[in-house]
DNA sequence: GTAAAATACTTGCAAAACACAAGTGATACA
DNA sequence: TGTATCACTTGTGTTTTGCAAGTATTTTAC
């Protein structure tokens, strides 16, 4: 039973666990190539930061999937946990620099969807 | 038992089958939010066009998955079938305008992978 | 201080998707 | 004409997913 945590990781590049190929696209898809991960990152880019925020997004992510994806994103160094502003023990999530670097990816996907998928509406503001 | 074919579809935008939300990112991920579809599109952008080409890519896509994804991409209007140059009856695949429009998405993902994933090497040329 | 609500998960299970191997007809080619 | 290639399909176990329900902390209300 894996536990969700932001554990210490080597500061240097960890050896890639099991890649399908050295292609950067393939490696990127190993991290966020599924139907949910980029939606969590979208929410983070919109300023949402709490478990309940992700759950209440209109797509309705199952909570077990959300737990798993947050854990993977923490391991990948794309998000990190921070204490909530009230100083309580509950944690919020936010994008690391590596995660923020996905904004061009998000923007290109959003733009493609707006152009080619009928009846889509952008929730995200530019850039 | 679904058969792979490029059947007639309404020329106007078909009603979206079952979307999770009207978000363009969500809708885009409904089409290519998995670990294989964008790799097929990558190969198409590299000039590969035949079933065997996709199979022989280093990631090793299973043939049943490839059949399924090609069928979905045809349905989505992202790829089309064309006769091979030799004039035989075998078909090749190529990107439609809608598919070509994914180049900025591919480029942003590749750039992110090159920057943030260690030991990745670009196979694709710029643009 | 205690009860109730909210939060952040985990667990269990059926259904779907996936990976892998093995076919199957059609071409292409010698 | 025979062999190899191609573009699939089928069958099989395994993994992942979706959904409901449960649990253990935290906050909030009183």
Backbone angles phi, psi at A83, to 5 degrees: -65, 150
- For the record, the structure tokens of B38 come out as 């964008």
Which pLDDT score is estimated for B13?
42
Q: Whose C1' is closest to the CA of A4: which nucleotide?
A: C9
- Residue B89 Cα, gap to closest chain A Cα (Å): 31
* Annotated domain spans of chain B: 24-116
Q: What is the pLDDT along chain A (127 residues), one digit of tens a residue?
A: 333 333 323 334 444 557 889 999 999 999 999 999 999 999 999 999 999 999 999 999 999 999 999 999 999 999 999 887 655 667 899 999 999 999 999 999 999 999 999 888 877 654 4
What percent of chain B is predicted at pLDDT more than 70?
80
Subunit contact A120:B23, Cβ cutoff 8 A:
yes
Partnered with residue A95 across adjacent β-strands are A79
State which CATH number among 3.60.10.10, 3.20.20.140, 2.40.30.30, 1.10.10.10 fits the domain covering A34-116: 1.10.10.10
Q: Is the CB of B8 under 7 A from strand C?
A: no
Question: Is residue B72 pLDDT above 90, yes or no?
Answer: yes
Question: Is residue B37 pLDDT above 60, yes or no?
Answer: yes
Question: Is residue B103 pLDDT above 90, yes or no?
Answer: yes
List of E strands, chain B: 79-83, 91-95
Q: What angle do CA B75, B70, B37 make, to 5 degrees?
A: 105
SS3 category, A18: coil
User: Could you tell me which of A59, A61, A68, A99 has the C-alpha nearest to residue A82?
Assistant: A99
Q: Whose C1' is closest to the CA of A36: which nucleotide?
A: D17
Strand D, nucleotides covered by protein (CB < 7 Å)? 5-11, 17-22, 25-28
**For the segment 28-67 of chain B, residues whose CB is within 7 A of strand C:** 34-36, 60-65
CA distances from A28 to A38, A70, A85 (A): 11, 16, 32
Q: Whose C1' is closest to the CA of B65: which nucleotide?
A: C18
Question: Is residue B14 pLDDT above 50, yes or no?
Answer: no
Subunit contact A25:B33, Cβ cutoff 8 A:
no
Question: Is residue B57 pLDDT above 80, yes or no?
Answer: yes
The two beta strands, B79-83 and B91-95, are antiparallel
Average model confidence (pLDDT) across chain A: 82
- Residue A101 Cα, gap to closest chain B Cα (Å): 7
Could you say which architecture CATH assigns to the domain B24-116? Orthogonal Bundle (1.10)
- Residue A5 Cα, gap to closest chain B Cα (Å): 21
Separation of alpha carbons A58 and B102, rounded Å: 25
Which pLDDT score is estimated for A57?
92
Give the pLDDT confidence of A7-17 residue by residue, as tens digits. Answer: 323 334 444 55
């Amino acid at each position: 039973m894996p536990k969700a945590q932001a554990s210490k990781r080597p500061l240097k590049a960890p050896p890639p666990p099991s890649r399908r190929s050295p292609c950067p696209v393939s490696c990127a898809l190993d991290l966020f190539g599924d139907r949910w991960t980029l939606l969590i990152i979208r929410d983070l880019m919109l300023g949402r930061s709490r478990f309940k925020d992700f759950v209440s997004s209109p797509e309705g992510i199952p909570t077990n999937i959300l737990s798993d994806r947050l854990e993977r994103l923490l391991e990948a160094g794309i998000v990190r946990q921070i204490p909530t502003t009230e100083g309580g023990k509950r944690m919020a999530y936010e994008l690391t620099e590596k995660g923020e670097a996905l904004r061009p990816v998000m923007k290109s996907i959003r733009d493609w969807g707006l152009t080619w998928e009928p009846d889509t509406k952008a929730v995200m503001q530019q850039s």
